[in-house]
Structure 1
């Protein structure tokens, strides 16, 4: 955990699993069967098994303002949870599942609190000769993005399209073609 700027001490062998369980409990509003009150300081709580001894914060000074951020990250079995709190009173959370459902597939869920319109789900697929990205906002009238690129070291083609479902209009559309050899690099972008 030191590479994240966190120094921890633990009384259990599976420290990362305990931290991951703690993050799940923090965002889960359901109580286990038979439990009426959930205390983060109960004997079986992850908080009593793993302690954070130090947290690293970063800041930037712009004029008279100091902008700061406190990041944290928990990784467990291909799932990464990133939580950042900043000086604008926003908490930005990103949950990433790497190759959880299929090789080369990454699933990303992100949102910011208190911005209720910031939620987004994204799927990314990466292969030796192809890359595909699809995302949709988690709002009543979301923007849908789709981009793809296919090719090899000599020839590549790609496109990027965004659809605003509220207006039913394409808000962004780009396409490109590239040809490369040892004497020439040519591309066409639309």
Structure 2
């Protein structure tokens, strides 16, 4: 039986994973080394002429630490502290600061030396100086409380004029409701305001999300057809009355055998995506994924192929 998702962000996780996960473009390679107390993961991604790589370290103890560093000089870290069953404090560090994009603030400490006196006014000759650099990074604190029937999360940035966020999800297996609100304390304006509803019955998971800020309504359905082969259908319908735009996406997945999964999806704009994923015997969690995407309105110009290797 599917349990209530503890946090609002996972209200429609099943549909999003079916419709958007594993559809990579370009070349992706991930290498992971898992041990009992953590893991080290190295990954690289190449799209056209650009290349992105990063390294991630996960340490599990009384405090769960997660550090990620990339070749683009961007570094992030996360610390999770569990005070009691279901209650956690999460500290997230980002360098450089995500808002300003700056990583260092520099200054000069000047050491003066007294010089000649003229008209009862001291003249200083600057004989030495020291340049110092102060790192600028962003810190965010989040409090989480999760039980079988309720999940609450509140976050605040530990900077001047931070963004304060609050989300909650409560209910049982068959019905749960929630909200997600964020406020910019500098302007006292809402940066995010969402309301959601999730229902579950055998083989069906439905969700309804209302984005009050952008006036967008999104409805999704996850239909599990066969449990043994993981055959499922996913539907997503998004409507924006303010822009008079609507988007319909339909996807399907199925396991051909215990080690091979295929999935495909199409939307009302003619974009088609497909992927086949094979679990290899190189090691635990070794996956080989081949995917492709094409717009039926312009097949020759929009065709893309992706290859992802994880071991």
Q: Give the structure-1-normalised TM-score.
A: 0.63
1:102 to 59, 74, 84: 84
CA distance in 1, matches of 2:95, 2:71: 13
Match of 2:138, SS state, is coil
Instruction: Note if 1:68 corresponds to 2:53.
Output: yes
Aligned to 2:33: 5
TM-aligned CA distance change 1:183 to 1:89, over 3 Å: closer
Aligned to 1:160: 180
Identify the structure with bigger relative contact order (alpha carbons < 8 Å, sequence gap 6+): 2
- Unaligned 5+ segments in structure 2 are 1-30, 98-135, 211-311
Alpha-carbon deviation of 1:189? 4.1
Q: Give the structure-2-normalised TM-score.
A: 0.40
User: Which structure carries more helix by proportion?
Assistant: 1
User: Which structure carries more strand by proportion?
Assistant: 2
Show CA shifts across 1:76-118 (max 9, x none).
22x1111111011122111111x3x221012110112232453
Q: Give the root-mean-square deviation of aligned CA atoms.
A: 2.9
Match of 1:76, SS state, is coil
Instruction: Note if 1:111 corresponds to 2:93.
Output: yes
Between 135-144 and 173-182, the greater mean CA deviation after superposition: 173-182
CA distance in 1, matches of 2:205, 2:77: 40
TM-aligned CA distance change 1:163 to 1:60, over 3 Å: same
CA distance in 2, matches of 1:159, 1:118: 26
CA distance in 2, matches of 1:147, 1:154: 20
Instruction: Note if 1:83 corresponds to 2:67.
Output: yes
Contact kept? 2:32, 2:42, Cα under 8 Å: no
